Amino acid sequence: MSEFLKLKKSNCKNCYKCIRHCPVKSIKFSGNQANIVSDECILCGQCFVVCPQNAKQIADGTEKAKVLISSGAPVIASVAPSFVAQYEVSGIKQLEKALKALGFAAAEETAIGATIVKKEYDRILREEKRDILISSCCHSVNLLIQKYFTNQLPCLADVVSPMQAHCIDIKKRIPDAKTVFIGPCVAKKDEADHYKGITDAVLTFEELNRWLKEENIEIEADMDHTENSKARLFPTTGGILKTMACDQPDYTYLAIDGVENCIAALKDIEEGKLHKCFIEMSACVGSCIGGPVMEKYRRSPVRDYISVSQYAGDKDFIVNDLTPGEKTKQFKYIQAVHNMPSESQIQEILLQMGKKKPEDELNCGSCGYNTCRDKAVAIYQGKADLSMCLPFLKEKAESFSGNIVNNTPNGIIVLNEDLEVQQINKAAMKLMNISRASDVMGEQVICILDPKAFMEVKRTGRSIRDKRVYLAEYERYVEQTILYDKDYRILICLMRDITDEELQKEKKEDISRQTVEIADKVVDKQMRIVQEIASLLGETAAETKIALTKLKESISDE
């Protein structure tokens, strides 16, 4: 299944949007990439629709269709009735003309198959008197039930989809024909692959558009109309019901769209809250005209509904019915392994996420999961990791940076571009004898420091680094660094207290000065003595003077 909906790793930006919108959470986050878990995926395509970086990719079936055409067999396109919403002013005749230019032998409406299917739904309700019957047109809904609501499989109508019914009908009428379904749905690619021999290839409208563009073929604007086309309503919410008789007095007929709503209905069925119902279920909001490929690139639900409604006639297509065996479709349980953690394991993971008590569980959904407990379960299952909890990361980062800022011996002051104090740490407060941070927060920096250096850094954009400054008001020497962060529009001042170093330096310089003065006196005294006994010392006087001079220079250097 994963081959039909893929991840383009280079584009995945670690945003979790696909996880937030996946109704069954079939996304595994690993290696900083959001991967689709194929055995859990229902191919609704929501991750493809919402991805802001186009990191989800639908497998292209164009080459497969081209191979079918080149084989020499007649290739018939089965075009989903939502095409009239996609192409708006073009009817099936103009679309068929364009498809023939691509090499197709003919194009027909999938609505022909829909007519066969709806008649079978009416027959089942009339003759078999099932308690609950769920339409089986939407492959994503079928997968949802097969994977997550297996106890409701008997409620799913064991009837082929309109795509399959139409393709079977085509192959009965045209010997050796190959069929290519064209529509707005990625799930149909999986349906065609799983039930082999019925639909030979599947194209999305997007793939068809690219192909037409490559061949410089345009679909002409010309609408055709026929009264026998009621099943063209199928791609709208409630469209199946509008084509059915709905004449069983003890049945409730209802239409549900959107996976979340379908899940809610299935839970009601599971709990025994619904009886005597025919439920038209569609995974996409708005049904097929809200399909993932259509919604990704164009979303006009009202206009699309009007286009479909106006194109549909009041009577059924004239169709050749299929045999009971050809119309029957068996749905099997598809196992999706879900290892569940114990309560103690969930609690341990919550602790690792910084959720020490119930009020710490914000259930904000930023990670993509509805609750912190759901996220903990996903971590246990290997589908998520701790780093996906944004409040946890924020608190961790704030705690980490806070510890550094508050425990560093260096003073730190943060100003906004108006030179107002936004943050000050304990070391800076101690340095400038400030008792409470609130005394200076929001105040101009001139209240505590000379603003000249800050103004210069802001004006030039050039940082000042390790500049020795005497803060006369505080009788402190500091080594001052001022940085300007243009992205966040703040100035950061770092001050290292070097008062003790400066005092030690002054003391040492004072000692050196005193030593030099003493050495000068010794030299002068020695020279007087030397002059008195010059005749006796000879060259010794010169050597003594040199030695004493070197001593003096050595002391001065220190």
Question: What is the mean pLDDT, run by run of 10 residues, along the chain of 558 residues?
Answer: 72 81 88 84 92 87 96 97 91 96 98 98 95 97 96 97 98 96 96 96 95 95 93 97 95 96 97 96 95 73 92 95 96 81 85 78 75 84 74 63 79 93 92 91 93 93 93 92 91 92 81 76 72 60 65 61
Nearest to 275 by CA among 265, 264, 260, 263: 265
- CB under 8 Å to 81, separation ≥6 — which residues? 109, 110, 111, 114, 231, 232, 233, 234, 235, 288, 308
Asked if residue 187 lies in contact with residue 164, where contact means CB atoms within 8 angstroms, the answer is no
- CB under 8 Å to 87, separation ≥6 — which residues? 95, 219
Nearest 5 degrees, angle CA 507-CA 513-CA 518?
130
In this structure, CATH architecture of domain 340-407: Orthogonal Bundle (1.10)
Nearest to 59 by CA among 200, 210, 190: 190
pTM, 2 dp: 0.73
pLDDT at 268: 97
Helix axis angle for 162-173 and 111-127, nearest 10°, is 110
What single-letter DSSP state applies at residue 309? H
pLDDT at 56: 85
Asked if residue 233 lies in contact with residue 219, where contact means CB atoms within 8 angstroms, the answer is no
Pairing state between β 476-485 and 490-497:
antiparallel
- Percent helix, strand, coil in the chain, to 5, is 50, 15, 35
Phi-psi domain of 527 (left: phi exceeds 0; alpha: psi -120 through 50; beta: other): alpha
Residue 146 phi/psi, 5° resolution? -65, -30
CATH number corresponding to 1-59? 3.30.70.20
The CATH superfamily assigned to 409-497 is: PAS domain (3.30.450.20)
Token digits of residue 242: 């509008």
pLDDT at 27: 87
Residue 6 phi/psi, 5° resolution? -120, 165
Separation CA 482–CA 445 (nearest Å): 13
Nearest to 199 by CA among 224, 231, 232, 171: 171
Separation CA 391–CA 361 (nearest Å): 10
Token digits of residue 293: 């490929």
pLDDT at 2: 46
Give the CA distances from residue 289 to residues 42, 204, 234, 295, in Å, rounded to whole numbers and listed in that order. 18, 13, 10, 8
Burial of 465 (0-12, 13-18, 19+ CB in 10 A): exposed
Tokens 């409701």 label which residue?
A: 152
Residue 275 phi/psi, 5° resolution? -150, 155
pLDDT one-digit tens code per residue, 394-417:
666 666 666 777 788 899 999 999
Nearest 5 degrees, angle CA 41-CA 46-CA 51?
115
Tokens 């105040």 label which residue?
A: 443
The β-bridge partners of 255 are 280
Asked if residue 179 lies in contact with residue 199, where contact means CB atoms within 8 angstroms, the answer is yes
Q: What is the b/e burial string over 35-71, where b = at least 16 CB atoms within 10 angstroms of the residue's CB? A: bbbeebbbbbbbbbbbbeeebbebbebbeebeebbee
- CB under 8 Å to 165, separation ≥6 — which residues? 113, 114, 116, 117, 322, 327
Residues in the chain: 558
Separation CA 48–CA 15 (nearest Å): 14
Q: What is the CA radius of gyration of the chain?
A: 40
